[in-house]
Amino acid sequence: MQDVLMAGIIASATCLVSGPLLIPFLRRLKFGQHIRTDGPKGHLQKAGTPTMGGIMFFLSLTLGTLLVRGLTTEIAIMLLVTLGFGIIGFLDDFIKVVMKRPLGLKAREKLLGQIILAGLLAYAAMVNLGRGTEVLIPGTALSFSLSWLYIPFAIFVVVSASNAVNLTDGLDGLAAGVTLFSALAYLLITEAWGLVDLSVFSGALVGTCLGFLFFNIHPARVFMGDTGSLALGGAIGALAVVTKTELLLPLLGGIYVLETLSVIIQVISFRLTGKRVFRMSPLHHHFELSGWSEQSVVLVFWTGAALFASIAVAMVL
């Protein structure tokens, strides 16, 4: 546990030190957030707030893990996947903010990159980490093998996790706070199972979220952008794959699931009936438009994330 604590401290300190350097730099480059005009009107005042703050995740996660454990196979795989998803997000942000293409990367380009990275993760976990093709059944000591179906299953899990975190990133402190609880759950699980490298990585992920929240909590001084949200989602998805807890992830990351389902339901309802189920999706915007303050929505979602993560940990341990 001492290594885990040290990884978290290093990662958090790295964010706290790099933030005051990165944020003015992003502001000078005019890497400001574009705000949707059809969203909550209170968000319009956030226009121009520096985005792509997820860049600091690259440094904090790398230092937090490497300085404590060194470059082991597990840590190399976790970092490469996390940074790989972050680079996809960086390209998307760069195209939106710098090249002034509001839609960023084309959907098929982004999805292709995510699928390739998730596929490489699944293969590396099976071959280099000896993970096999078994998936644990939550709450039991049982597992089952997916055989050749495992790689497409793992790809679906990781890509879904990455995009779900991306959807959750819509309010100050929301995605970082929710991910903090998911990472903390994996820290407890991997520590209990004796997976030292993964617990150190999870500790660094917790520290990264804590450090970033210092700048991202309302009123946010910087947004993580797709650079950060895709990286966080890739990290959580990778932890699920390597620990064989893919089936636990929908509970452990319950807020991500609710946010994603709200978008799916909204799209299907509007296309079939021409009516919307929610005032706006993802779900956090529905509550904002229902009169909740941004801080209230974030606090309730954080509480929900803590509850989901606690239940998941209790089931496993």
Question: If DSSP codes are grouped into helix, strand and coil, which group holds residue 144?
Answer: strand
How many whole angstroms separate alpha carbon 7 and alpha carbon 205? 9
Residue 166 labelled as part of a binding site? yes
Quick check: 86 and 54 in contact, CB under 8 A? yes
Nearest to 266 by CA among 274, 277, 255: 277
How many whole angstroms separate alpha carbon 75 and alpha carbon 197? 6
Residue 38 labelled as part of a binding site? no
Quick check: 215 and 50 in contact, CB under 8 A? no
147 DSSP assignment: G
User: For the purposes of burial, counting CB atoms within 10 Å of the CB of 119, is it exposed (0-12), middle (13-18) or buried (19 or more)?
Assistant: middle
Beta strands in the chain (DSSP E): 134-136, 143-145
> Residues comprising the binding site?
166, 226
Q: List the binding residues for Mg(2+).
A: 166, 226
